[in-house]
Amino acid sequence: MHAKRLFSAALVAASLGLLTACGSYVQTTSGSRYLAGYSASPPAGEIRLPQAGQAGVVDPEIAEIAAVEPQLRFPTRLGLARIENGELTPVPPIEAEAWRGLAQRLGSGYGEFVPVSPLIAALAAPESPTSDSRADPWSGYRKSLAQVVKAVRYGAARQHLDAVLIYEPFGRSNEEGNILSVTKIALIGFFLPTEDVKADGFAQAVLVDVRNGYTYASASATSAEPTRRLSTSGNSYKVQADARAEAQAQAVAALTGEVETMVRDLRLALAARRLDLGTQ
């Protein structure tokens, strides 16, 4: 199976279980505080007891990952990156309109939204050799996930953005035969609306610092109501695709509301953190 399809299928499968409701989460915790009192773990085979005042040891790789601090300040240049089928894609007009509405609601005090260009991201990303993932198909999924996030950060850095909101819409659809489905046995039934199509949309987003990779917040949303269409035997694929696209657009519109709450909460949390550090 192709790596991109693995990426998309695994992400959808995981997300359908998570996106049971809309919501958002904000993080402003400190890496230095998280690691305070811990020392780097000793080399393999060496036993080292914690020193006085130390809570224990931490793996160097984990320490390096955790040693990051929130540094975002508003107003800011906030990138908008859309992921679909494991790739950075342009923002469709209907979704762009929803994001413009969010920017207007937030106002200039929060900064500006700037779409991350797939072309600029491709030009900014360094060349990397392709690998054969046939021996381990899931390695392709893991690499695709890491590569697309890196590509987004490369493009955002080239565009001099401070943070980037990476979002992904996706959907699922199914069809069931209606009362006309019996006509499928007749030639004319090929042209009759014999199937009821239903599609649900989902969307999720994460806000990442371009410079140091700090993850500030995440949000998720679903379409309020399923999108319903009628299809014939001849146009089933297109009708389902159109229904999913409409459901996804509805989910993105709902996502902008969650992102608005997320960004407002984050600004307050970052301001409170700076005040706390200033009084220490």
CA-based nearest residue to 250, from 228, 227, 219:
227
Say what the pLDDT of residue 239 is.
Answer: 66
Report the distance separating Cα 197 and Cα 242, nearest Å. Answer: 10
Report the distance separating Cα 231 and Cα 196, nearest Å. Answer: 7
Lowest mean pLDDT among 79-88, 102-111, 150-159, 169-178: 169-178
Burial degree of 140 (CB within 10 A; 0-12, 13-18, 19+): buried
Those residues with Cβ within 8 angstroms of residue 207's Cβ, 6 or more apart along the chain or in another chain:
163, 164, 165, 166, 215, 216, 217, 218, 262, 263, 266
| Predicted structure pTM score | 0.75
Q: Please check the confidence at residue 236 and state whether its pLDDT lies above 60.
A: no
Q: What are phi and psi of 225, to 5 degrees?
A: -135, 150
Q: Please check the confidence at residue 17 and state whether its pLDDT lies above 60.
A: no
Report the distance separating Cα 265 and Cα 130, nearest Å. Answer: 41
Q: Please check the confidence at residue 86 and state whether its pLDDT lies above 80.
A: yes
